[in-house]
């Protein structure tokens, strides 16, 4: 069911994407920029649609997936990432809200999605040019951080770990491990991955999903697994019978839950999450705005594989 919900959101993502090969903004997934011209720059996080396109193309096991096996989805995924590469700052960072912002958040999450797309493609040789071009983004992530926000730090760790797996470059592996240690430091005692000094179930599960992916692509990590298990216990205690958190008790007042890490850990909470989704009682990608529905849909596809 999770993958089906995610695939159902793909037409919306495609509608946000400039799919005209002759357009100077071909591959841009920020329609407000390329079509409506209501913004002066494209939000780099929107390019995470490239991973959703690639995943939909490969989701052959989903019942009603009109995109499975259609090569054009791969072409649009590549176009999305080529646009992302072309719109970065000279140092490899990207912008989310304003020019030359050098957003650690947007750089971390979009780079992680880029790397996941490459891993999905098996680090294919036809991506060799893009892999090389992305190197300075990974170098920028090595040197920049935001320790107050665990979910962003976790995404940067995932990006660096994935890039090291693809390239075999040990420098990025060591940087990923240092970032991993920073993320885990606050979680060892009570399982809380801090969000501006507190627990937020929504962002807790985003952090857990990134760290779970970090663990999986590396072939296992005992310390990460232990931290995730502590984090899962906290999340499990804070979800109601429909798998919903109490937003008033969250440090950032979120109402969403990213299920991948919970599914990977076989959490009891997944039964409640699925029950809530089945009767449309809990938030899902279709309820999110243009900026946030894509990463949640991606997480749903990862989670489906664990059920």
* Confidence (pLDDT) at 123: 65
Question: What does the alpha-carbon distance between residue 218 and residue 200 come to, in Å, rounded to a whole number?
Answer: 27
Tokens of 237: 């205690």
Q: Whose CA is closest to 195, among 241, 157, 153?
A: 153
Phi–psi pair at 85, nearest 5 degrees: -65, -35
Q: Whose CA is closest to 157, among 179, 183, 186, 135?
A: 179
Query: The domain 2-304 is classified under which CATH number: 1.10.1740.10, 3.90.1150.10, 1.10.600.10, 1.50.10.20?
Result: 1.50.10.20
Tokens of 185: 């430091």
Q: Whose CA is closest to 249, among 196, 293, 200, 214?
A: 200
Question: What does the alpha-carbon distance between residue 158 and residue 114 come to, in Å, rounded to a whole number?
Answer: 11
Question: What does the alpha-carbon distance between residue 132 and residue 49 come to, in Å, rounded to a whole number?
Answer: 21
Q: What is the pTM of this model?
A: 0.97
Report DSSP state, residue 245: B
What residues does 239 pair with on adjacent strands? 245
Angle at alpha carbon of residue 44, lines to 126 and 119, rounded to 5°:
35
* Confidence (pLDDT) at 65: 93
* Confidence (pLDDT) at 62: 73
Residue 235 burial (CB < 10 Å; 0-12/13-18/19+)?
buried
Helix, strand, coil shares of the chain, percent, nearest 5, are 60, 0, 40
Domain assignments of the chain as residue spans, ordered by start: 2-304
Query: Mean pLDDT for each consecutive 10-residue tract of the chain (307 residues)?
Result: 96 98 98 97 98 92 86 97 98 96 98 97 84 98 95 98 96 98 83 85 97 95 95 96 94 95 98 98 96 97 95
């Amino acid at each position: 069911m999770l993958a089906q919900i995610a695939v159902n959101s793909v037409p919306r993502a495609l509608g946000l994407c400039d799919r005209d090969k002759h357009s100077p903004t071909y591959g841009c997934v920020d329609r407000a920029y390329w079509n409506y011209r209501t913004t002066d720059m494209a939000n780099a996080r929107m390019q995470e649609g490239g991973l959703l396109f690639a995943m939909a193309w490969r989701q052959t096991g989903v019942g009603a997936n009109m995109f499975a096996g259609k090569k054009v989805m791969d072409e649009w995924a590549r176009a999305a990432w080529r646009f992302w590469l072309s719109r970065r700052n000279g140092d490899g960072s990207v912008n989310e809200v304003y020019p030359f912002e050098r957003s650690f958040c947007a750089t971390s999450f979009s780079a992680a999605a880029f790397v996941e797309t490459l891993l999905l493609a098996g680090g294919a040789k036809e991506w060799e040019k893009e892999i090389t071009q992305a190197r300075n983004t990974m170098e920028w992530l090595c040197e920049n951080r935001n320790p107050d926000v665990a979910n962003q730090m976790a995404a940067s760790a995932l990006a660096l770990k994935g890039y090291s797996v693809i390239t075999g470059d040990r420098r990025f592996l060591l940087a990923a491990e240092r970032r991993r240690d920073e993320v885990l430091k606050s979680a060892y005692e009570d399982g809380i991955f801090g969000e501006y000094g507190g627990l937020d179930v929504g962002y807790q599960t985003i952090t857990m999903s990134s760290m779970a992916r970090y663990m999986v692509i590396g072939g296992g990590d005992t310390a990460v697994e232990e931290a995730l298990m502590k984090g899962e216990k906290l999340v499990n205690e804070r979800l109601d019978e429909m798998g919903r958190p109490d937003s008033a008790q969250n440090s950032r007042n979120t109402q969403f839950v990213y299920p991948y890490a919970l599914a990977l850990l076989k959490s009891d909470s997944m039964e409640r999450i699925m029950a809530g989704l089945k009767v449309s009682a809990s938030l899902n990608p279709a309820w999110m705005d243009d900026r946030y529905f894509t990463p949640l849909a991606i997480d749903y596809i990862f989670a489906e594989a664990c059920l």
